[in-house]
Structure 1
C-alpha cells in the first residue's frame, strides 16, 4: 500500500497540489456533461454554498452558463459552443437563452432532504493507499473510481493543514454499487499497490471505537458546514487556538471537491495570542470535484473531512462569503466538499471519528 511521505508546509495553501492546468484542452461532450451535472446533482448542490445561492435550491433559478465556464475546472473545455452543445443533450439539465447568453438549470428542481445522512453514508466507501498528492491526483482518482460505477461525490481527505491523507470518501449512486465495489474479487489496486477498502459506515464505527478505547484522540475542532441553505459554524478554539486570521479559502476548482483552507495567514488570532483563534477568523475551511473542486479565484466555501463525502473532488471536490459579496462569481474550486450536518442523535465521539 502506498503511504504518504509529504511534509506539512507552514504555508498551508502549498499543501494542496491540485492543478487543473495539468489537464488537456478538450471538447469532449461526455466529460463536459459529467462535470457540469455534478455541480447541480443531489449530492453536491445542497452542500455547495455558491451553487445553492445561485440556484436557490428548490427554486431552481437558472445560472448563466458563462458563470459556470469561469470555474477553473471548466477552462479546459473549449470552445464555449462545445459546452452549450454538450449540455443540450443532458438528461439532468436544460439550456435556454440567446446565443452567447445561455443559462442552465435542472430539468427537475431539487427536493429538500431526499436522502438522510445515514442513507448517504450507506452508499459511501472509505479507501486508503493513494500516496502523496500531485497536480493531477484528483482527476486520476476520479477516473479510477468511475470504472466501478456512477460516482455522486468524491472527496480527498485532508489534514487541518490541507495535506492530503492518502485516503478518500466516495459516494456512489446506490448502496448496492458501494457494496459491489467493497466485495470485488480480486480487490481493486492503485498503480499496482493494494488499497485499504471498507464501507464508510464501518470506517466511522472503527474510529469511534478507537477513540473510546483511548487509542486515538478526537479532533477538538470542527470545520464549518453548509447544507440546504443553513450554515453550521466551526467550533471555536481556545484563546491561542488555530492560526487565526481570515481562515483558509475554499478551493472548489479542484477538489468537491467543492473544493473545501488555503493558508491561515495571521490576523486577530495567531498561534499563541489572545485572538479568537480556532475558528480561523472570518472563515472556516472547506475542501469538493471535487464538494474539489471549479470556481473563480477568491470565493470561499466549506468542506468537512468528517462529513458525508460528495466527485472529490473539489477539488471538487475557505472563507465564508455572503451572497452579496460574490458579484456573480464562484469561490475557488475545491477537491473536497461540505456535507450534511450530523443529526442530534449522533454522539460527539461518532462525529469526531470521521475527521
Structure 2
C-alpha cells in the first residue's frame, strides 16, 4: 500500500471508530447522562461524515486493489481525505471542549473557579483548532511533488525565510503567543469586571488575538493581548467578586458626624444591595471652608456596589437637606465695615425691609459649595 492507501485506510478506520463511539453513546447514554446531554448533539453531526469517510475509503481501497487507474483522482483524493481528517479532528476538539464548558456553572454567586476553567477552555480550544488546521493544510500541500520540492528549497534558506516571516507577522505572532500566556497566567477571565483605558466593563470574550470588553453602556472595547500584558489595568474580580465602594460628601464644619453614622447604618440595613460586611463613615479631609466625609460600603459584586453607592449618596443628601440643613456646605467671608457706604442721614432707606443696622454687619454668610457661591 502506498501513502495514499494508508491515508484512506486510517481515515476509514477513524471514521468507523467515531461511528462506533456514537452508537455506544446512543445505546448507553443513561449511564453517562451528563456527557451524553453535553456532547450527544455534537456527535450526531459527526455521524454522517464518519459513515461517508468509511464507505469512501472502503470503495477506493477496493478499486486500488483491483488495479483500476484512478488518474487525476489521486490528487483530489489527497486533498479531500486530508482536509476531511483535519476537519474531523477539529470538530472532536470542539466537542470535547464544549462538553467541558457546559459543565461549568457561572450563574452562581461565587463563580471564580468556573470562570477560570471557562477561560482556559475557550482560549486553548481556539489555539488548538488553529494549530490543527495549520498542520492539516501543511500535510495536504506536502503531498504535491512541486510544493514538496519548493519546501525543500526553503529549508536550505530557513534562517532568512524565518527572519522575513517573523518581521512581517511580528504583531500577529506576538498576539498569538500572548494568548497562550493569558490562558496560562489568566490576568483576565471571562466575566471579569475590569477598568481598561479609563473604561469600566466586563470581559465578554477572549479570542486568539484580542479581548472584547462589554462596557456599562453596551459599547464594546476591543483590546489586543499585548495591551493587556504591557499596560496596567484594574481587575475588580481577580480573586473574588465582592468589592468595597466609596461615597464622598462635602459638608459644613457643623455637621453631626455621629448622627450621620447612625443614618448610614440604617440606610444600608434597609436595602438588599449591602452584603453585611463593611459600613464606615469617616472624616477624610478638612479645609477652611468645609469637611469631606467618606462612606465605605460593601456589596457582593461590582454592579450591586454601583447601585448601592448611588442609593447611599441619594439618601445621605436627602437627610442633610431635611435634618441638618445647617450642615450643607457654606462659604463664609468678612467685610470691613469701614469700606462700606453708609447713608448720610443714618436712616434706613424707605424701600428697605431689613432691620435697622443690618448694613453694619461685619460678617456675612453666603450659602454655597466650597470654592464658590451656590446658585
TM range (shorter): under 0.3
Q: TM-score, normalising length from structure 2?
A: 0.20
Larger proportion of strand: 2
Larger proportion of helix: 2
Q: TM-score, normalising length from structure 1?
A: 0.21
Larger Rg: 2
Structure of higher RCO (CA pairs closer than 8 Å, 6+ residues apart): 1
